[in-house]
């Protein structure tokens, strides 16, 4: 059966480098790279090959749309005579290659906030508009993955421009959007057996990723739980660091700072974390969420209730990063199960 809405190509593993080099003629290629013993998404330099034998990257590629530090405006001159410097709005097109489906879902979640009918964040939109997303199916989901809780799976295609599947000797490369089809046009067409092989991978992986957290009633349940002993109970071991929020692919709170050195200055947007004691600290010294459990409550409520209320989607994609990296093993899956039971 031929599906004309997409193009299906195949590339042998040893030819990946050449393909990336081809893409680099037109695009900045962002792909997984090995850093010490883990993997991060970075810009691939010339003659560099992405690392594709990974489960998931330590941090998601969120920073390519919502950078941890981003200049909003730069200016120079003395007080009262400040001149804003013009921003470069042109940018080279980018491809994020090898992004996992959970991280694609997270970008779709962020889209609702940064690009909606009331407000468009031009910084985010510019980066989003100029980036193609080539997803990478998870043949072997991590033991801490729970994406299937959110109606997606290790081979979810929604939101992608193209899709990559590891078939052992090579990759099946699918193009969905017109631009993605164009980008892979020079690759040879995939044989029928190869396409069938992908379907097998997908089926196998979907079965593996069956472990999930029952999420359906959580947003409604939380509505009545603002005052609840659960919050103090789950917070007692929390150290109040920013690991969970800074590794989270959907957390999006930020702080704005002015920096001035001599006569040059900038207004800059930095990631912020609701787990920090100075998060939303008022100028008066008043702290609306003074206690650790109130901050924990904010994080869980924001993800699983407020965001759902505001945008109709839960702000979690089940990537499991907060689960594996929390220094004291605060496990959001366990928290969700507790909410469900309480």
Partner 1 sequence: MENTEKKIREVAQKLLKDKKVNLVIGFEKGTLPWKSRPVFIRKHEDADKLVWNQFCENNLAVYIPFYKKMLDKGNTIAVIAKGCDARSLILHVQENVAKREQLIIIGVPCEGMLDRRKIEKEVAPGEITKIILKDDSVTIKTEKEETEQKQSNFLSDDCIMCTHRKPVVYDELIVVNIKEPPGVKRETILNEFEKKDPQDRWKYFSEEVSRCIRCYACRNACPGCYCNECFVDCSQPQWIGTTVDSETDLQLFQIIRTFHLAGRCVNCGSCSRACPMDIDISLLVSKLSQDSKQFFNYETGLEIDDMPMLNKYSEDDSNEGFFEEH
Q: Which residues bind partner 1 (CB under 8 A)?
A: 35-38, 53-55, 58-59, 68-69, 140, 142-144, 236-237, 239-243, 245-247, 255, 257, 259, 268, 270, 273, 276-278, 292, 323-325, 327-329, 331, 333-334
Question: For partner 1, which is the closer residue by CB, 43 or 328?
Answer: 328
- In the complex, what is the shortest distance from the CB of residue 134 to partner 1, in angstroms, rounded to a whole number? 20
Q: Which helix (H) or strand (E) holds 179?
A: helix 178-183
- In the complex, what is the shortest distance from the CB of residue 296 to partner 1, in angstroms, rounded to a whole number? 13
Question: For partner 1, which is the closer residue by CB, 181 or 266?
Answer: 266
Question: For partner 1, which is the closer residue by CB, 132 or 147?
Answer: 147
Contact indicator for 170, 12 with CB cutoff of 8 Å: yes
- In the complex, what is the shortest distance from the CB of residue 70 to partner 1, in angstroms, rounded to a whole number? 9
Question: For partner 1, which is the closer residue by CB, 69 or 122?
Answer: 69
Q: Measured in whole angstroms, how far is the alpha carbon of residue 155 from the centre of its chain?
A: 16
Rounded Cα distance between 296 and 328, Å, is 14
Rounded Cα distance between 151 and 318, Å, is 10
Question: For partner 1, which is the closer residue by CB, 188 or 240?
Answer: 240
Q: Which helix (H) or strand (E) holds 324?
A: helix 321-325
Please say whether the dihedral angle defined by the alpha carbons of residues 295, 321, 143 and 102, taken in this order, is positive or negative: positive
Phi and psi dihedrals of 276, rounded to 5? -80, 140
Please say whether the dihedral angle defined by the alpha carbons of residues 195, 199, 205 and 206, taken in this order, is positive or negative: positive
Indicate the SS3 state at residue 218. helix
Question: For partner 1, which is the closer residue by CB, 180 or 275?
Answer: 275
Q: Which residues contact 64 (CB under 8 A, 6 or more apart)?
A: 30, 41, 94, 96, 127, 131
- In the complex, what is the shortest distance from the CB of residue 334 to partner 1, in angstroms, rounded to a whole number? 6
The count of other CB atoms within 10 Å of the CB of residue 35 is: 13
Question: For partner 1, which is the closer residue by CB, 145 or 180?
Answer: 145
- In the complex, what is the shortest distance from the CB of residue 182 to partner 1, in angstroms, rounded to a whole number? 32
The count of other CB atoms within 10 Å of the CB of residue 47 is: 9
- In the complex, what is the shortest distance from the CB of residue 281 to partner 1, in angstroms, rounded to a whole number? 9
- In the complex, what is the shortest distance from the CB of residue 299 to partner 1, in angstroms, rounded to a whole number? 14
DSSP-assigned letter for residue 250:
S
């Amino acid at each position: 059966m031929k599906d004309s809405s997409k193009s299906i190509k195949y590339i042998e593993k040893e030819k990946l480098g050449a393909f990336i080099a081809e893409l680099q003629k037109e695009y900045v290629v962002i792909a997984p790279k090995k850093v010490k013993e883990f993997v991060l998404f970075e810009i691939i330099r010339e003659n560099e090959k992405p690392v594709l034998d990974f489960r998931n990257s330590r941090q998601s590629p969120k920073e390519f749309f919502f950078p941890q530090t981003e200049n909003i405006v730069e200016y120079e001159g003395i007080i009262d005579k400040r001149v804003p410097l013009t921003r470069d709005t042109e940018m080279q097109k980018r491809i994020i290659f090898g992004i996992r489906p959970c991280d694609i879902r997270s970008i779709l979640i962020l889209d609702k906030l940064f690009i909606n009918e009331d407000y468009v964040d031009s910084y985010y939109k510019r980066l989003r508009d100029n980036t193609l997303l080539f997803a990478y199916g998870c043949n072997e989901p991590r033991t801490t993955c729970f994406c299937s809780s959110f109606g997606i799976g290790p081979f979810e295609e929604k939101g992608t421009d193209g899709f990559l599947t590891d078939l052992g000797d090579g990759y099946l490369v699918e193009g969905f959007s017109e631009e993605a089809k164009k980008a892979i046009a020079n690759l040879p067409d995939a044989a029928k057996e190869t396409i069938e092989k992908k379907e097998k991978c997908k089926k196998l992986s979907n079965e593996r990723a069956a472990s999930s957290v029952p999420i359906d009633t959580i947003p409604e349940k939380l509505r009545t739980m603002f005052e609840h002993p659960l919050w103090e109970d789950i917070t007692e071991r929390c150290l109040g660091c920013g690991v969970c929020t800074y590794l989270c692919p959907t957390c999006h709170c930020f702080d704005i700072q002015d920096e001035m050195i001599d006569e040059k200055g900038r207004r800059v947007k930095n990631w912020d974390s609701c787990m920090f004691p100075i998060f939303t600290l008022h100028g008066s010294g008043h702290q609306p969420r003074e206690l650790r459990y109130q901050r924990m409550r904010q994080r869980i409520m924001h993800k699983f209730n407020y965001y759902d209320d505001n945008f109709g989607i839960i702000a979690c994609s089940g990537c499991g990063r907060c689960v594996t990296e929390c220094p004291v093993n605060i496990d959001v899956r366990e928290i969700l199960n507790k909410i469900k039971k309480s």
